[in-house]
Copies of this chain bind each other. A is one copy, B any other.
Amino acid sequence: MFSNSSKYAIKAVLYLSLHSNSTRKIMAKDIAQPINVPPAYIAKLLQELVRTDLVSSVRGPKGGFFMSKENNNQKVIDVLNVIDGEKKFTGCLLSLEACNEEKPCPLHNILSTSRQHMIKVLNEHSIADLALAVKNGKAYLPL
């Protein structure tokens, strides 16, 4: 459903949301292990997330990655859009040029409702929301 990269990015962002803040930064290699993602790979993904303002960072000694208030308030779909691209969600399931109710593909008719619902929900929930669920024991972060 989601690419590996997206899964990794979500896990990383959630981990940071739970364990970091502007005074408690975490190095890439220390994120990699607890979420079970290759260190060099998560490093690269984090760089992209920093570039797109989904994660914050400072370099040098005592540096690392962390989630600012603004970062925490970003929506889950923003992470997915940055990593996988928006078309993954808005594009036609069968690659019709335009996806709309006027000229739907056969899959549109049966799937667009649940698809719209997914998008809505991803748009409504922030990283912080998901992190809170984990904190409250209502969800678990996979290795």
Contacts and interface: CB of A to CB of B under 8 A. Distances in A.
Interface residues of A, number: 42
A106 B109 CA distance: 29
Nearest to A102: B140
Q: Chain copies in the assembly?
A: 2
Interface string A93-115: 11111000001111111110111
A7 B114 contact: no
Mostly, the A contact residues are helix
B139 A97 contact: no
19 contacts: A1-B93, A7-B95, A10-B106, A10-B107, A14-B106, A76-B107, A103-B140, A104-B139, A104-B140, A106-B139, A109-B133, A109-B138, A109-B139, A110-B121, A111-B118, A111-B122, A113-B117, A114-B115, A115-B118
